Structure 1
């Protein structure tokens, strides 16, 4: 009898687990009737919004599309969860419609000096957490620079787990007075809940090349704890020529509600082509 109860209990757990709803990451929430771009090269266009549907076409990176409708169905691959979208697109003189998975679309895209820059997610991988001696799942993102439909360069970087994919942004900034740099790209993702890390990735653009700087991480838990990281560039207050300064500050309250703070900094030298730790 005890074995029977155990079997029934396990079946109930399996049923509830199967019914657990999957929610899309906020960064893959795209507006209807708005233009968007394909990020993943040779993204499959399907007849219906599911992974088993017939493939009717494939689209290259930087292909512009129009979002017609966001479907309710969500597909999770690794730590990435996104809705399916009904889209329309043009190839030559022909306009077609179909369905694509939102995780294959660009989180953000920009155009400058004749180049298109796209920010998106590429995959989920296992990374070794040395502190806890275990594997953790991490999403990998990248920034691509494209001229027409030709990929010029690409850099990749981690963006944490799915919890850190609630908000995303992609902007172009000045060269921050770094020698020979045309301008700077900044990609960012962050979560909604307390204690979920956000990540800022600065990338320099020069001579058709993308140069990723060390990644910045910020996290906080109400007024109990915070950890912040930032760069001080030459054009910032306190900046120095031909270098950028990494600054970290951390605060944690003890059992007596007393704040304990610590900070650190290090300087990276920039020679016009690359950087190195001073």
Structure 2
């Protein structure tokens, strides 16, 4: 009986250990089948099978349109740095030739838009180790990027931090107005966030002017179930309370203690815009 009980305990231990070690794909890399998508990472490898060691059939450039045929859920999720994604079976067209193969989901756009003949791509490009001065240690950070393409030609690109793996649950990518900023054609807004309480979300505004991308200081928002939240927003000239040729950064912290007493802190700073660049007032 003891032998049977010991065997059962070992089996359950192995089961839970396997569950803890299992890698789950980041939600941001969840793509629907039978939907068109775009390649973000230049020279993305197309493989014969959903495996990093499988023979390479082809390579695809940024802005290549593909069709997602299927998510390969029967093969392990591949993790590169802090990015974790499934393999996808795709089809695509190069000239008159139609082809199929497998690509890693981390190389695909998590958002893309088209305006005035330009394609704007949002993707996660890599993971870097960033030094945290206060702790005198290094922390892994994911890097997102926005590219502006004219066909196959890269016109400009900007990159920004997006936190760690748990902060890659979802993404949104929109084109907004020029917010009445001088010489700005329009504004791009990328939003990357986690879903759980206490997990940060990032808003990245990028101005588009004269075929150039100008990234504004990044905004971060985080909340914890009515106990605490940290909010950062911009007030642009076309917003209520906006200032001509400037954008205003506003920050608010709200914390609720055990007696449900609310403590609020806020601050703001103004960035002047001269039609080409910004500077802190």
TM over 0.5: yes
Match of 2:36 in 1: 35
Match of 1:75 among 78, 82, 92: 78
Q: Gapped runs of 5+ residues in structure 2?
A: 1-9
The equivalences for 1:1-278 within 5 A come to 16=17, 20-72=21-73, 73=75, 74-278=77-281
- For 1:17 and 1:80, how far apart are their aligned partners in 2? 20
How far residue 17 of structure 1 moved from its aligned partner, in angstroms, is 6.0
How far residue 45 of structure 1 moved from its aligned partner, in angstroms, is 0.2
Secondary structure at 1:163 match in 2: helix
* Cα deviation code 1:96-155 (max 9, x no counterpart): 000000000000111111111000011001112233332111100110000110100000
Secondary structure at 2:21 match in 1: coil
How far residue 21 of structure 1 moved from its aligned partner, in angstroms, is 1.2
Secondary structure at 1:96 match in 2: strand
- For 1:58 and 1:124, how far apart are their aligned partners in 2? 22
Secondary structure at 1:200 match in 2: strand
How far residue 255 of structure 1 moved from its aligned partner, in angstroms, is 3.8
Match of 2:7 in 1: none
- Residues paired across the two proteins, number: 268
Secondary structure at 2:260 match in 1: coil
* Cα deviation code 1:53-93 (max 9, x no counterpart): 01110000000000000111311111111110000001110
Alpha-carbon RMSD: 1.6
- For 1:16 and 1:258, how far apart are their aligned partners in 2? 42
- For 2:122 and 2:159, how far apart are their aligned partners in 1? 10
- For 2:166 and 2:188, how far apart are their aligned partners in 1? 23
How far residue 257 of structure 1 moved from its aligned partner, in angstroms, is 2.7
- For 1:18 and 1:189, how far apart are their aligned partners in 2? 27
TM-score (normalised: structure 1): 0.93
Match of 1:6 in 2: none
Secondary structure at 1:194 match in 2: coil
- For 1:170 and 1:176, how far apart are their aligned partners in 2? 17
- For 1:19 and 1:39, how far apart are their aligned partners in 2? 31
* Cα deviation code 1:174-220 (max 9, x no counterpart): 00000000000001111011000000000000000000000000001
